[in-house]
Structure 1
Amino acid sequence: MTHEEVARYQRDGYLLVNKLFSKEELDRMIREVEGGDRVASSMYSSNDSSGRKARLSIWHELGSDMWSNVSICPRLVNGVRILLGEDAAFFHGKVMLKEAHSGGAWEWHQDYGYWYDQGFIYPNMISVFIALDAATRENGCLQVLRGSHKLGRLEHGRVGEQTGADVNRINQVESMLDLVHAEMEPGSALFFHSNLLHSSAANVSDYHRRSFIVCYNATGNPQLQGGQLKYYKSCPVGAEEWVQLP
């Protein structure tokens, strides 16, 4: 990443990298979404405020599967290290399915709004959103409030079956910040800060909006667990040509 890209991330709270993954790599990921055991075995649904379902599969450990190979590939891990300004640890991976005509919305929230309650001391954490399909306004692409990571952590509570940021505060800051629809080509990746406010509308289009999201924590950012501080180990760096691995 260039100095200009790092400065843009620090200013905006996110950085879009176009075509980070090839069509061959995308095809492999989509095959695993549609027929792989890891996604199917951990899938659950979350209703938005209108009752539509967003489906999600999440795991917290690296293994020998394809999703782990993607999570540790150099173009992700090294980019995250640069943006964090320190070494990075794998936190979790998740596949999100916002299917045609039925995919639910996600309310305005910060990832650190969840992760603070899980005991993480600092918001020095990053998510990388990889578009497996084209993400457009019509199929419910991510929406972000540019620069909102500088607000600090907002209070979060229940919004339908989801956890969302304080609605009154959102109403106050929306007029102050630029709303950006993060439309993305398949294979593009959005790196974003854990305090960046983001949401997405329901998918009422004819096209799926599937994604793989990898979340990383700074190794210097401990998690409070039962009165003790847990430090995460540095994420291994795997093969650039991961698609060739079994």
Structure 2
Amino acid sequence: MTESIYPFTEDFDVTPSVQADFDKNGYIIVRSLLDSEEVKLLKDALESDEGIIRYAFGRDDGEGGRSRMVLWNQPGNDITGVMARCEKVAGTMEKLLGGEVYHYHTKLMMKDARTGGAFVWHQDYGYWYENGCIFPDMGTVFIALDQATQENGCLKVIPGSTGLVELITCALETRWGLMWNVLQRSRSFSPWCMLSWSRVTRCFSTVTCSTAASRTTATSGAGPSWWRTTGPPTTRS
């Protein structure tokens, strides 16, 4: 799929065509949104943070694999907070969602080489609704910190699945059978799409997604999630 993919330049903006792709497919890919130096600083900070190890928790995928993650709600003054609040991240999401946004949480997902488990099919809003977010005016920026390939479990999406209300309302752990039936039916209108990318690529998304288990190298990804609001202005760097 060649649509929804854009290179980042100094004059990058959410043009009508960018917005149309986002509204149609539920995501856009922006290549080189962060440069290699910025990604290295971000990855070095995360790998040296003792809190990442202390608060990380694992999740079994039901097929013998296990992935780890850690999340936080308050964007701090370190590089992860600056990244979440910067104009090219938060500002772009504001334009895509059509209004003021606030930081909901940032999550770091980690898969060990060959043993890192899959993240099964889900829509993030299915969880967010349970946490009090009653409107689906939300989105996530996925940042690949390592090379993401099909072999090590890159992101898999269903373009256009934002409108699958049945997925939004079902709880993943208790109604997986229902979700899988809906996912299979979704193939009749939209093929599942594998998103392989380098470390400097970013995905702005509201779409249904999953990742496979890692069969080769380790991989990790992080990203802030945003909720559109009419409340006080959000401070951005």
Instruction: Kindly indicate whether residue 94 of structure 2 is the aligned counterpart of residue 81 of structure 1.
Output: yes
* Residue in 2 that maps onto 1:32: 45
Structure 1 residues 233 and 107: alpha-carbon distance in aligned structure 2, compared to 1, 3 A threshold: farther
* Residue in 2 that maps onto 1:183: 196
Aligned length: 222
Counterpart pick for 1:212 among 203, 222, 234: 222
SS of residue in 2 equivalent to 1:91: strand
**Deviation of the 1:235 alpha carbon:** 2.6
Instruction: Kindly indicate whether residue 52 of structure 2 is the aligned counterpart of residue 53 of structure 1.
Output: no
Contact 1:143–1:180 (Cα < 8 Å) also in 2: yes
Contact 1:154–1:166 (Cα < 8 Å) also in 2: no
Give the Cα–Cα distance (whole angstroms) in 1 for the partners of residues 176 and 100 of structure 2.
29
Unaligned runs of 5+ in 2: 1-13
SS of residue in 2 equivalent to 1:156: coil
Unaligned runs of 5+ in 1: 221-231, 239-246
Contact 1:32–1:39 (Cα < 8 Å) also in 2: no
* Residue in 2 that maps onto 1:104: 117
Residues 191-206 of structure 1: pairs in structure 2 closer than 5 A: 191-193=204-206, 196-205=207-216
Give the Cα–Cα distance (whole angstroms) in 2 for the partners of residues 164 and 116 of structure 1.
20
Give the Cα–Cα distance (whole angstroms) in 1 for the partners of residues 173 and 119 of structure 2.
12
More strand by share: 1
Q: Which runs of 4+ in 1 moved over 3 A?
A: 162-165
**Deviation of the 1:157 alpha carbon:** 3.0
**Deviation of the 1:41 alpha carbon:** 2.9
Give the Cα–Cα distance (whole angstroms) in 1 for the partners of residues 95 and 89 of structure 2.
10
What root-mean-square deviation, in Å, do the aligned CA atoms of Structure 1 and Structure 2 show? 1.8
Residue-by-residue CA offset, 1:58-77 (whole Å, 9 max, x unaligned): 00112222211111111001
Residues 122-141 of structure 1: pairs in structure 2 closer than 5 A: 122-141=135-154
Contact 1:19–1:189 (Cα < 8 Å) also in 2: yes
Give the Cα–Cα distance (whole angstroms) in 2 for the partners of residues 163 and 57 of structure 1.
24
Contact 1:102–1:204 (Cα < 8 Å) also in 2: yes
* Residue in 2 that maps onto 1:15: 28
Match for 1:211: what amino acid? G
Match for 1:234: what amino acid? P
Residue-by-residue CA offset, 1:83-132 (whole Å, 9 max, x unaligned): 01001100000111122111110111100111111121110000000011
SS of residue in 2 equivalent to 1:202: coil
More helix by share: 2
* Residue in 1 that maps onto 2:3: none
Identity %: 29
